[in-house]
Amino acid sequence: MTLPLWSIASAPEAPIASSSAQTLIATLGRPAPARTAFAEARFMQVLDRPLVVSGELAWLGGDQLQRRVDRPNQETAIIANGEVTQQRAGKTPRHFSLARAPQLQVLLDSFVALLSGDASRLQQSFDVRYTTAASGSWTLVLTPRDAVVAKSIASITIDGDGTQSRCMRMQEADGDLAIDLLGPLAAMMPAQPTRESLQLLCQGVH
C-alpha cells in the first residue's frame, strides 16, 4: 500500500455512531490476553534525538494492561485496579496511582477499548473522528473528553489496514510526540527515526 498522506487526510469523515465506524472497531476486538509487539519513538522538545524503545503491549482482560520494554533496557509497567506497578531490572517495584499518569490512562482507555472492540467505551473517553480510504486503510483520531487529561494529551491517532492497527501516535499538549509502530511494523523502526519517516510508515508508505 502506497497511499500518500493527503489521500487519507482528505477522505470524508464519519461520526463514531455510523455503522461503518462501529463495525471497524468491533472487528479490531481480540480475546484476552491479546499481545502485540511495539516499537516507540518519543520526540521531546528538550532532546535532540528521539528516545526509542521496543517490547510488547498486552491486554490481560478487563482494565489490565501490561507494557513490557525489552530494549534498550528491561522495564515492565502493569496497570490494574487503578494502580500502576513499574518494575525495572535490579530495582524495587514502584507503585503509584493511575491518576498521576495521564499518558497511561489514555493508553489504557484507547488500547483496551480497541482490543475489546468496545466502540461505546471509546466514545465515552474520546471524541472520535474516523476516516477511510478505498484501499481499506483507515485512521481514527481520538481527542480526550476529560479536560484534565486534555491538558496533557492533545490527541491520539491510530492508523490501520483492514482489521489490524498499524500505528499509534500520541500527541502531547506540550508538543512532545510518541509514535508507536505496532505488530509486524514494529520491526521496521528506522535506526534514526524522524517524525516524517514514521508518519509515512503509519500511512503505509514504505
Q: List, in sequence order, every residue forming a beta bridge with 68; answer none if it has no partner.
A: 56, 76
Asked if residue 43 has pLDDT above 90, the reply is: yes
3-class SS of residue 99: helix
Asked if residue 33 has pLDDT above 70, the reply is: yes
Residue 96 lies in a domain: yes
16 vs 169, which has greater pLDDT? 169
Digit-coded pLDDT (tens) for 64-115: 999 999 999 999 999 999 999 999 988 999 999 998 888 888 888 888 888 8
Residue 7 lies in a domain: no
User: What are the b/e assignments for 6-41, b being 16+ CB within 10 Å?
Assistant: ebbeebeebebeeeebbebbeebbeeeebbbbbbbb
pTM of the full predicted structure? 0.86
Domain interval for residue 194: 15-202
Please report, in angstroms and rounded to a whole number, the separation of the first and last CA atoms in the chain: 8
Asked if residue 17 has pLDDT above 50, the reply is: no
Residue 54 lies in a domain: yes
Q: What residue has cell string 500505528?
A: 167
194 vs 102, which has greater pLDDT? 194
Residue 73 lies in a domain: yes
Residue 6 lies in a domain: no
Residue 42 lies in a domain: yes
In the predicted model, what is the mean pLDDT of the chain? 87
pLDDT of residue 18: 60
Domain CATH for 196: 2.50.20.10
Nearest to 174 by CA among 56, 48, 42: 42
Q: Domain count of the chain?
A: 1
Residue 9 lies in a domain: no
In this prediction, residues 190-206 reach a mean pLDDT of 91
pLDDT of residue 3: 30
In this prediction, residues 29-56 reach a mean pLDDT of 95
Residue 179 lies in a domain: yes
Give the CA-trace dihedral at 11, 165, 120, 107, to 10 degrees: -120
Asked if residue 8 has pLDDT above 50, the reply is: no
